[in-house]
Amino acid sequence: MLLSQLYHPPRVEIDRTRSDNGELVLVHRFEGKPLVREFIANTLLGIEFLWGRPVQLETSEAVHAAAAPGPAAAQAPPHRERRAEATVWQRVRYTMKDRKLTRDVI
């Protein structure tokens, strides 16, 4: 239990099959915890500076989708209706090129 609660370094690997044109392609192996979004831009900026070429990072991000209301929700008064949110993980690609960060859904 304790190990699941502690933060540990994320597992990020180089994808050598797509890194042959000089770009660095990093793949985050998702382990149930997303990367801290606020650190991605500055981290990729630093890696691009050191690498000297564009850098890509593929990772998973949470998308909160409202669940479809069931029969019980149809009978409930509107002011008491609560929509359950399901977490869906989607793959995204961040690219740092010429000090500009872009984000694409894969």
Q: Are 4 and 33 in contact (CB under 8 A)?
A: no
Residue pLDDT tens, the chain, 106 long: 555 666 778 999 999 999 878 999 999 999 888 999 999 999 999 999 999 999 999 999 998 776 555 555 555 555 555 555 678 999 999 999 999 999 999 9
Q: How many CB atoms lie within 10 A of CB 28?
A: 19
Q: How far apart are CA 91 and CA 81, in angstroms?
A: 31
How remote is the C-alpha of 58 from its chain's centroid?
Answer: 7
| pTM of the predicted model as reported, rounded to 2 decimal places | 0.75
